[in-house]
Structure 1
Amino acid sequence: MSANDDKLKALLEEILLIDDDQYHDDYGPDEIETWDSLATINIANAVEKEFGYSMSPEEIVSLETIGDIKTILISRGVEI
């Protein structure tokens, strides 16, 4: 796991109140009951603070899984 993936994992564990066993690329609101619309906004804000990338409104509403967050960051040059 890269340093940035560790940062993302810690960020999501804090916001979503999840454990290691819930940090999977294909997990989203269906698997993580604390992932609601407010959590999505909090994730977007935390990503901006931690990685310096501000997600567009379209990107925010398209977040369906942890993998989607990683894909957006990778597309912006963040090594995950």
Structure 2
Amino acid sequence: MRATDYAGIRQILTSDFDVPADRITPQSTLEDLGVDSLGVVELVDILGEQRGAPITDTTLRPTMTLEDFLSTALAGTAP
């Protein structure tokens, strides 16, 4: 996981999902941060827009850690 990717998702979670920054770690699950399955869809859309490439992976789940989520979501998208 690149630091810029982590910083980006951290910013999205704090600004768009109102997650306190001190709760966010690479090992946090989205579920632990209050992001449900609909939130995952929204998060994927935001990440895809920011990167300029749609994210089409359907295995993304709220039970994934941020580290795993980013690795899976961003595999195959443009940097």
| TM-score of the aligned structures, taking structure 1 as reference length | 0.69
**Alpha carbons 2:25, 2:66 under 8 Å: kept:** yes
Structure 1 vs Structure 2: percent identity of aligned residues? 12
Cα 1:69–1:51, aligned 2, differ >3 Å: closer, same or farther?
farther
Q: Is the 8 A contact 2:48 2:54 kept in 1?
A: yes
Given that residues 40 and 60 in structure 2 are in contact (C-alpha distance below 8 angstroms), is that contact kept between their aligned partners in structure 1?
Answer: yes
Q: Please give the root-mean-square deviation of Cα atoms over the aligned residues, in Å.
A: 2.5
Aligned residues: 75
Higher helix share: 1
Q: Which moved more, 1:14-23 or 1:37-46?
A: 14-23
Name the residue aligned to 2:56: 56
- 1:21-40 matches, cutoff 5 A: 21-28=22-29, 29=31, 31-32=32-33, 34-40=34-40
Structure 1 runs, 4 residues or longer, greater than 6 Å off: none
The Cα shift of 1:67 comes to: 0.9
Which ranges of structure 2 fall in alignment gaps of 5 or more residues?
Answer: none
**Letter of the aligned partner of 1:47 in structure 2?**
L
SS in 1 for 2:58: helix
SS at match of 1:68: helix
Q: If the length of structure 2 is used for normalisation, what is the TM-score?
A: 0.70
